[in-house]
A and B are shown apart, each in its own frame.
Chain A
Amino acid sequence: MAILTAGSTQLFLDTRVFEPAIRGWNRLEGRPRAVEFDRSLRAEVRDPLWFLTRQWQFGEFQGEDAGSPIDARLAYATTKLVHYLPRSGDRLDFPQNQPLEAVVEREQAPSDLATHRQIMRAMRLALDAEGLPPPTRQVVMAAYRTPYPLDAARLGGALDGETRRQLLFEGPHLFDGLSLLDDIPAGHDGKVDGFGLSPADAEAVKRAARIVQTWFAGLYSLPDAATPSTWSDPQVEYQFACETAPLDDTAETLLAPSYAQGHLDWYAFDLGAAAGNDGDSPAGAERKALSFIPAAISYAGIPNPRYWQFEDRHVEFADITAATTDVAKLLLMEFALSASNDWCVIPLELAVNSLCRIEGLVVTDVFGERTLVRAAGRGPDSVWQRWSMFDLSQAAAGRDTRTALLVPPTTPTAMRPPPIEKIVLLRDEMANMAWAVERIVPSAAGPGIDGYAYADAIAVSLPPEPDPAPGAEVRYRLGADVAWNWHPFIPVHIPGSNRSVSLQRARLPHERPPQPSRPIVGQIIAGPTPFFLNEEEVPRAGRIVTREFRRARWTDGSVVLWIGRRTSPGRGEGSSGLVFDDLRPIRKSNS
């Protein structure tokens, strides 16, 4: 220190190190809350008190003015469909032994090679079963070809190459099975007597024919000749109605005004005007009561109502992606996340073919309080705030909703092969008309074949264009041709209206008789002339109508096979390339 002078000491003490400073304290403490939620959502476990704390925070200790339901009594009434009304309005007995789809859709068996072959096969087996010796059987099978000859004209559908090949081999053996079956009540037996058989054999043949008749009726679900079709050509859909057995002197009418989806279920039906009790309806209505312990609703993905409970793997809150405008989704989320434990469900076993109406539901809670639960969707049908699901709409305006669940007797699964006919209805804005394109046509052999290929095979082409005159610069065409599976529909006025139009099946100008006209191979647009199609049935997107076999099993295991149609949206507009008064330059060749 001796070497430090006073001046240097002062200097040393003046350095900033020795300047007086203000001192403060920072306090670091744990803060349990954060802006981010992910830590909190992990529901980390700490001490036992923490379990209770979280429960308290989530309101799980909150007392409410409510009691848990422990008992519920349900009264319900069911009634059956007892009448079936096809489009004409005839009241028929409701068919019990097959699915309703088959009854609504079924068509006559096609007169194709497959059908005739089936009848021939059955006849052969039936003759065997009747004990006819093989030589006699061969005589009979050959003899049937005289009164019931099968020629190509008798076959419906396209005569394509495959059909011709089959005809070449089978033609000499086949007889017209459909005519034979039709003839059984009339002249069949007389014709069999003319076969020159012994009386016993002739009787056996007649019995065999009846066996085949029964067999064929069991093979296909065929419409009664007297029952009119339910298919409406202009509307391209099935239209029918059903009536229930009266319940409290009122029978309900269920209308299916536009069914063509291929699967018939409750949503195809509307409730029509109530019909009175006509007195002769068979009793099909019954009232039942059910007592049960209400169970909380549960479904895949339902969150647990408790906080301290492991969710199963189906619950993933992070996967909820709903924008603020997704009202329906948000409603569902709201229900699933916060209200799902307030819903109870009871299984209610209903017979197939029943209309069920809940008459009353009384719930008793643990305190003995009884509550009458009423339908959420009750009230006038027109009230827009009304909300319900699986409920039938009212066809008639101004009526109160009758909440009822319909379990129609329909098939859950039907085998659907490739269609035998497919029509595409489309608009052609360029030509200002509509077209029905036969995309798939039924072949006379049975299966559907490509409509374009068949059209190419049968088309009679227009005379070739003449060579242009030397020096000609343009070519004028009166009109163009269109592929032969395109069938034109032109707009026509609906009588009595000056704006509405309807589409009428038409012909191209050069098809005027005696010129050959394009044949309609299938059946969907083959109705009698004049054939109309409602304009709204051919939307801008087009419409596809298919006809196909369907095979289903019914409750007693029986096999039901029928032909049905269904429609689906098309794939947009089309262009036929049809033009009239067409003037176009002739391309100069380079030479």
Chain B
Amino acid sequence: MDALRQTLDALVSDAPTKAAYEALLADAASFDAADWTAPLPAMRTALRALSLHGFAEALPASAFGTDGEAARRLYDQSVEAAKIAKARLESAAADFEPVPVPPAAPNPDDAARQQRQLIDQRAERLRSAAKSVFGTSFEIVPRFRLAAEQVPEIAACLAAPVETDPLKLEAWLQSLSRVRPRMADLALTGSWRSLSRGEETAYVPLQVPRKLTDPWIGGGWTTPPGAGDIVSVMAVERPSAAGDPIAALLIDEFTETVPAETETTGLSFHYDRPNAVAPQALLLALPPRFTGGWQWDDLVATVIDTFDRARMRAVEPSQLATGPLFHATPATLVPFSTGWLLSTLLVANTVAVNQS
């Protein structure tokens, strides 16, 4: 693309052509076909080549014209196309810069995750670069490889698919095509492919975790699969080998629940149970008399006394106000006087002196 852009640039900045164009702008009658015999086809070729890069604006504005109007339009278009191509390439250039690689994480798991993120990031940037160059509807499908530990399981799934009856697979697809619009597209594509080319699409169900005893979960079964979640992937074309690089499109994904044969319901009833609960404290007690053993009455009295104390713990000063012990309860006493501060102090001193 850059080469095409340079070609266009060279064509439009070629001195005789430029001069002819400017003359043409100034005076349309000054058109001389001889000036344009070489540049016009060259511009057309370059523009047409550029248009193949998903660049609809570059489709030559005049396909065969050799008059002044055609020359002017093609020249204008070439200038514009070169400009746009340059802008597109520049906006993509940033995405081609290598992704800065952070220092590897010490933990192997973290390092692996970091590596995956890096790959994703790189793929994402390449896709974005392709979109900037070729237009937003341009999609790159990146190729990937299965992780080494997944390869044996997938290879086994491919070697002996869990379901091979084409009618059952078709029933699965056709039944889904009624409820999932994307599956409807897939079914239609498969059907039309068969009609137009006579080729059948090879659907291969891959089911993990792979257990030989499990039936395919896409349809009915006689022996139920083991408990737990099962993932079934329908490969629309059989991959050549599990370890090879593959490119894939995700068409649709959904979760299905198979109802159980029994349901757990609940029966609740009211029963007035006592609300008393165990005390929230340990009672560490000593016998009042050390006689070598506890007396039952002592034990009972200790417990009763403890609960009495627990009740007393809740007594508030105001509840003692009328009792004789009121004065002994802890408090802060602050004097006040009807007179001035000094008089109170003097009197206080007097009292103090008198008392001493």
A contact residues vs B (CB 8 Å cutoff): 16-33, 47-53, 55-57, 59-64, 66-69, 74, 99, 114, 117-118, 120-122, 124-126, 128-129, 134, 166, 169-170, 173, 211, 215, 218-219, 294, 296-297, 305-308, 339, 341-352, 356, 358, 361, 363, 365, 371, 373, 376, 405, 407, 411-413, 415-418, 446-447, 549-551, 553-559, 561
Q: Give Cα A305–Cα B221 distance, bound, in whole angstroms.
A: 48
In whole Å, how far is B241's beta carbon from the nearest beta carbon of chain A? Answer: 26
**28 A-B pairs whose Cβ atoms sit less than 8 Å apart in the complex:** A16-B340, A19-B340, A24-B335, A27-B334, A29-B329, A30-B317, A52-B306, A52-B313, A63-B276, A66-B272, A117-B191, A128-B166, A211-B167, A215-B171, A305-B277, A347-B265, A348-B266, A349-B262, A349-B265, A352-B259, A352-B260, A358-B267, A412-B257, A417-B181, A551-B179, A558-B219, A559-B175, A559-B220
Q: Give Cα A308–Cα B281 distance, bound, in whole angstroms.
A: 10
A407 partner, pick from B178, B265, B276, beta carbons under 8 A: B265
**Contact A69-B271, Cβ < 8 Å, known A447-B181, A557-B221:** yes
Other 10 A-B pairs with CB < 8 A, given A47-B313, A66-B273, A417-B180 = A22-B339, A23-B337, A23-B348, A24-B336, A26-B336, A49-B309, A53-B313, A124-B194, A342-B272, A561-B175
B212 interface residue (CB < 8 Å to A): no
Q: Give Cα A53–Cα B48 distance, bound, in whole angstroms.
A: 94
User: In the complex the two chains form, is A49's CB within 8 Å of B263's CB?
Assistant: no
Q: Give Cα A551–Cα B257 distance, bound, in whole angstroms.
A: 11
B258 interface residue (CB < 8 Å to A): yes
In whole Å, how far is B40's beta carbon from the nearest beta carbon of chain A? Answer: 40
User: In the complex the two chains form, is A114's CB within 8 Å of B177's CB?
Assistant: yes
User: In the complex the two chains form, is B184's CB within 8 Å of A114's CB?
Assistant: yes
Q: Which residue of B lies closest to A413 (CB)?
A: B257
Question: Which A residues touch B187, using CB under 8 A?
Answer: 117
The total number of A-B Cβ pairs within 8 Å is: 288
A415 partner, pick from B174, B180, B184, B219, beta carbons under 8 A: B180
Question: Which B residues touch A128, using CB under 8 A?
Answer: 166
User: In the complex the two chains form, is B271's CB within 8 Å of A342's CB?
Assistant: yes
User: In the complex the two chains form, is B281's CB within 8 Å of A25's CB?
Assistant: no
B226 interface residue (CB < 8 Å to A): no
B97 interface residue (CB < 8 Å to A): no
In whole Å, how far is A391's beta carbon from the nearest beta carbon of chain B? Answer: 13
Chain A contact residues: helix, strand, loop or mixed: mixed
B347 interface residue (CB < 8 Å to A): yes
In whole Å, how far is A216's beta carbon from the nearest beta carbon of chain B? Answer: 9
User: In the complex the two chains form, is A64's CB within 8 Å of B276's CB?
Assistant: yes
Q: Which residue of B lies closest to A118 (CB)?
A: B174
Question: Which B residues touch A67, using CB under 8 A?
Answer: 273-274
Q: Give Cα A476–Cα B218 distance, bound, in whole angstroms.
A: 65
In whole Å, how far is B313's beta carbon from the nearest beta carbon of chain A? Answer: 4
Closest 3 CB pairs of A and B: A21-B339, A558-B220, A52-B310
In whole Å, how far is B100's beta carbon from the nearest beta carbon of chain A? Answer: 42
In whole Å, how far is A170's beta carbon from the nearest beta carbon of chain B? Answer: 7
Residues in B208-228 with C-beta less than 8 Å from chain A: 215, 217-222, 224-225
B261 interface residue (CB < 8 Å to A): yes
Question: Which B residues touch A558, using CB under 8 A?
Answer: 219-220
Contact bitstring B160-175, A, C-beta under 8 A = 1, else 0: 0000001100111011
B337 partner, pick from A22, A308, A343, A411, beta carbons under 8 A: A22
Question: Which B residues touch A124, using CB under 8 A?
Answer: 194
